[in-house]
């Protein structure tokens, strides 16, 4: 990674995802405690879902907005401003003593962390077409590494100094990232877009993609899959804390283990799996494997916790390792060359929407019974299996099989 600009962009996305990973093992538990103490007429489990979901909702809303603004005023001011907004969000998190402040902290951090579209545009500006896929892949690597290292770091920081250490340490990383970006990221945009656009125009592509026969079905599968997986993410730390008595540090290790297993599958095994079974079978096999992994998480007794959770994590790693590249590759294969960036960006945006809806639904379900989010998520994955079966039949007809 000789180009300092690429290194800086990699670190920007990595810190965004590291910040998200850091709070996964601790935020649901802390939010529930603050919600119970707040005096608000709001169920504590619902409050957890809302607080976890608002981060991704802000990413869904602001990712296309930051991307459009970067076309108008340049990439550099958007990237620098979003890094500062993220830092402010984590400073607020470190100072949170009430549920309202905690909720606003996640809202602000979500707005700042929606800068991936501007980062992708910067990479496209400075990279020849034949090298873009490789450099865009660095963003995927930053996502994976953030989720691997974030939860264990978050658990350790919380054990050492509570929520203050978590918030201030992450804010310090953002400040260092800002300093690095200030000195290494010159403006990359040579021709600005002067067309006037409304707020709604940033989302116009979403209206059309659902109408496409193949793409629309892939988008629906992706939304349901990500929503189901996020239902597990938001409540697993509460479940493991309340029913299996894990500490925040131990919960961090659990999520870190999920990240490591996913990285191993996607980095070392998925190429072989794709050559053996092909993309369509990866889609078909991934759905029931994820369904099993999600459904068994709340089932074991205390004595069987470790082996069942290991089995669940392995299922989730293998299933995710199959589904994510299969969906992305099939979307790309069914998109014209001149619409690749736009369509994949929309796929990412709808994924953020799913990650905002999943936690809210999970919070409502958990308030009714601790098993409900996981069993419901498993049922959603069975639904995606039926949708995938229907889709692959159409794909087979289209390619003349």
The pLDDT tens digits of the residues spanning 250-300 come to 888 888 887 777 777 766 676 777 788 888 888 999 999 999 999 999 999
Scored b (16 or more CB within 10 A) or e, 324-338 reads bbbbbebbeebbeee
Buried residues in 354-391 as b, exposed as e (16+ CB within 10 A): bbbbbbbbbbbbbbeebbbbbbbbbebbebbbebbeeb
Share of the chain above pLDDT 90, in %: 27
**CATH level 3 topology of 1-186:** Growth Hormone; Chain: A; (1.20.1250)
Which one has a higher pLDDT value, 96 or 68? 96
CA distance 7 to 189: 18
Which sequence spans correspond to the domains of the chain?
1-186, 203-401
Mean pLDDT of 380-386: 95
Best mean pLDDT range from 81-90, 118-127, 196-205: 81-90
Angle between helices 27-38 and 44-73 (to 10 degrees): 120
Distance, C-alpha 169 to centroid of its chain: 21
Q: Any idea which residue has 């029931």 for tokens?
A: 288
For the chain, give the percent of residues with pLDDT over 70. 86
Mean pLDDT confidence for 353-362 = 88
- CA atoms within 13 A of residue 390's CA, in its CB half-sphere: 13
For Cα atoms 331, 327, 365, give the angle at the middle one, nearest 5 degrees.
125
pLDDT digit string (tens) for 2-47?
567 877 877 877 877 787 788 888 888 899 999 998 888 888 888 9
For 288-345, give the secondary structure using H, E and C.
HHHHHHHHCCCCCCHHHHHHHHHHHHHHHHHHHHHHHHHHHHHHHHCCCHHHHHHHHH
The per-residue pLDDT for range 200-254, each reduced to its tens digit, is: 555 666 677 777 788 889 999 999 999 999 888 778 888 998 889 888 788 888 8
Q: Give the integer Cα–Cα distance in Å for 351 and 226.
A: 6
**Distance in angstroms (rounded) separating the CA atoms of residues 113 and 54:** 12
More confident residue, 351 or 292: 292
Distance CA 344, CA 331 (A): 7
* CATH superfamily to which 203-401 belongs: MFS general substrate transporter like domains (1.20.1250.20)
The pLDDT of residue 88 is above 80: yes
Q: Which residue has the higher pLDDT, 256 or 305?
A: 305
Reply yes or no on whether the pLDDT at 69 is more than 70.
yes
Burial 154-182 (b: 16+ CB within 10 A, else e): bbbbbeeeebebbbbbbbebbeebbebbe
pLDDT at 341: 56
pLDDT class for 189, splitting at 50, 70, 90?
confident
Least confidently predicted of 224-228, 304-308, 331-335, 368-372: 331-335
Structure-model confidence comparison of residues 366 and 190, the more confident one: 366
> Do residues 296 and 326 lie in contact, with contact meaning Cβ atoms separated by under 8 Å?
no
pTM reported for the whole predicted model: 0.76
Q: What pLDDT is recorded for position 400? A: 43
- pLDDT of residue 165 exceeding 90, the answer is yes
Structure token digits, residue 24: 């996964």
pLDDT at residue 123 above 60?
yes
Residue 105, token pair as written in the block: 């902290």
340 or 27, which is more confident: 27
* Secondary structure element (H or E) that encloses residue 375, with its range: helix 372-398
- Split at pLDDT 50, 70, 90, the class of 171 is very high
Question: Which 8-state DSSP code applies to residue 266?
Answer: I
Residue 111: the pLDDT is 92
Query: Which DSSP category does 95 fall into?
Result: T
In angstroms, rounded to a whole number, what is the distance separating the alpha carbons of residues 394 and 396?
Answer: 5
Question: Of 120-124, 177-181, 298-302, 367-371, which range is least confident?
Answer: 120-124
Q: Which residues contact 53 (CB under 8 A, 6 or more apart)?
A: 234, 355, 356, 357, 358, 359, 360
Q: Has residue 377 got a pLDDT over 90? A: yes
Whether 203-401 and 1-186 are alike in CATH topology: the answer is yes
């Amino acid at each position: 990674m000789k180009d300092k600009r690429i290194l800086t962009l990699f670190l920007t996305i990595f810190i965004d995802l590291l910040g998200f990973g850091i709070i996964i093992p601790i935020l649901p538990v802390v939010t529930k405690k603050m919600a119970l103490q707040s005096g608000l007429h709001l169920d504590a489990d619902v409050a957890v879902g809302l607080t976890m979901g608002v981060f991704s909702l802000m990413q869904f809303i602001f990712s296309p907005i930051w991307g459009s603004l970067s076309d108008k005023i340049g990439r550099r001011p958007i990237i620098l401003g979003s890094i500062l907004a993220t830092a402010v969000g984590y400073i607020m998190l470190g100072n949170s003593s009430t549920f309202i402040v905690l909720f606003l902290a996640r809202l602000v951090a979500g707005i700042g962390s929606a800068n991936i579209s501007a980062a992708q545009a910067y990479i496209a500006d400075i990279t020849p077409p034949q090298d873009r896929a490789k450099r865009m892949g660095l963003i995927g690597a930053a996502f994976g590494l953030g989720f691997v290292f974030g939860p264990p770091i978050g658990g350790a920081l919380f054990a050492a100094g509570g929520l203050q250490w978590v918030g201030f340490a992450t804010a310090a990383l953002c400040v260092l990232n800002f300093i690095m970006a200030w000195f290494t990221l010159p403006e990359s945009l040579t021709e600005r877009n002067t067309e006037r656009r409304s707020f709604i125009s940033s989302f116009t592509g979403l209206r059309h993609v659902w109408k496409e026969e193949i793409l629309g079905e892939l988008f629906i599968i992706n939304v349901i899959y990500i929503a189901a997986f996020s239902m597990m993410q938001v409540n697993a730390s509460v479940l493991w804390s309340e029913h299996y008595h894990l500490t925040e540090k131990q919960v961090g290790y659990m999520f870190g283990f999920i990240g490591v297993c996913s990285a191993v599958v996607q980095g070392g095994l998925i190429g072989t799996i794709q050559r053996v079974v092909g993309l369509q079978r990866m889609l078909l096999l991934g759905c029931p494997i994820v369904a099993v992994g999600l459904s068994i998480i709340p089932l074991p007794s205390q004595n069987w916790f470790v082996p069942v959770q290991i089995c669940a994590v392995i299922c989730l790693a293998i299933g995710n390792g199959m589904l994510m590249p299969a969906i992305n590759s099939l979307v790309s294969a069914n998109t014209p060359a001149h619409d690749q960036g736009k369509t994949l960006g929309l796929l990412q945006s709808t994924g953020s929407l799913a990650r905002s809806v999943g936690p809210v639904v999970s919070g409502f379900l958990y308030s009714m019974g601790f098993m409900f989010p996981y069993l419901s998520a498993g049922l959603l994955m069975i639904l995606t299996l039926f949708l995938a079966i229907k889709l692959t039949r159409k794909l087979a007809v289209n390619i003349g099989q």
